[in-house]
Amino acid sequence: MLYNIKLLHEKPNMSGTRRYRLLCPIARALDRVGDRWTLIILRDLHAGPARFSELQTLPGIASNLLTDRLRQLETDGLIRRSLVEYGTSVYGLTELGARTGDLLFELAAFGAHFPPDDPVKRPANLRTIAVTLQVACQRVVDDTMSLEAELIVDGEAFSFSVVAGTVDIKAGKAVEPEAVVVTSYEPMVAVADGRMAMESFIATHLEMSGPDLEQAQALAGLIGRAITTQLT
């Protein structure tokens, strides 16, 4: 009888995963975001809405599992599916889903204390950087700062906007950026992990250009403060 009660208590939800079914708010959060791949999907959606095919580039996730996770996230009110041009579906964060930014940032800061397992897999795209960099910059930005720039990391463009101290980073090219900053992913991770000095990163892995060089320097300085202050 006790065995049957336990099975009833741990009955799978619609996605086949198990719920804790506890009053504890940590358990309730894990019921929504604790499954494998769920936080990684949310991480990538912080860079802006994405098509199924863009999310399918996550290394190691099967299409049926991705479908399952997206369906559950939509059911839990963390993402929404919308139709764009040509009837294409895109997935984007809801207001509640956007609140996972600080959670993902703290996980990144905690994860920086551990080496990656071998063999190390490079992300298929760099949407991964948007949420942690945005939160880190938001925590150190001057509330009077404003700029419109483009950040290019290993050839992938991100719009980098700061309006009266509010930072927004999204995948895709910026519209009429005042400045452009070019860098690489591995050196950014090396600085965040404490394996490279910021001075070396700026000197050898950061290029600045654009019509307003002061804005480029301001952006480079903001990124430097964010990485060294928050991610090490």
pLDDT attached to residue 204: 93
**Rounded to whole angstroms, what are the CA distances from 32 to 6, 21, 71, 103, 231?**
21, 11, 12, 13, 26
Report, as an integer, the average pLDDT of 174-194: 90
Mean pLDDT of the chain: 88
The answer on pLDDT for 157 being more than 60 is: yes
d(CA 150, CA 157): 7
Q: Would the pLDDT of 181 be above 80?
A: yes
Instruction: Report the pLDDT value the prediction gives residue 232, as an integer from 0 to 100.
Output: 46
21-52 b/e with 16+ CB inside 10 Å = b?
Answer: eeeeeeeeeebbbebebbebbbbbbbbbbbee
Section 46-64 average pLDDT: 92
- pLDDT on residue 192: 81
Confidence bin at 170 (pLDDT 50/70/90): very high
Domain boundaries of the chain, sorted by first residue: 21-99, 128-230
CATH number of 128-230: 3.30.1050.10
Amino acid at 13: N
Supply the pLDDT for residue 230. 59
pTM as predicted: 0.86
CATH 1.10.10.10 fits 21-99, yes or no: yes
Q: What token pair was written down for 158?
A: 């991100």
Rounded distance between C-alpha atoms, residue 131 and residue 44, angstroms: 8
Instruction: Decide: helix, strand or coil at residue 208.
Output: strand
Strand order, beta sheet including 166-171: 166-171, 156-163, 147-153, 179-183, 207-209
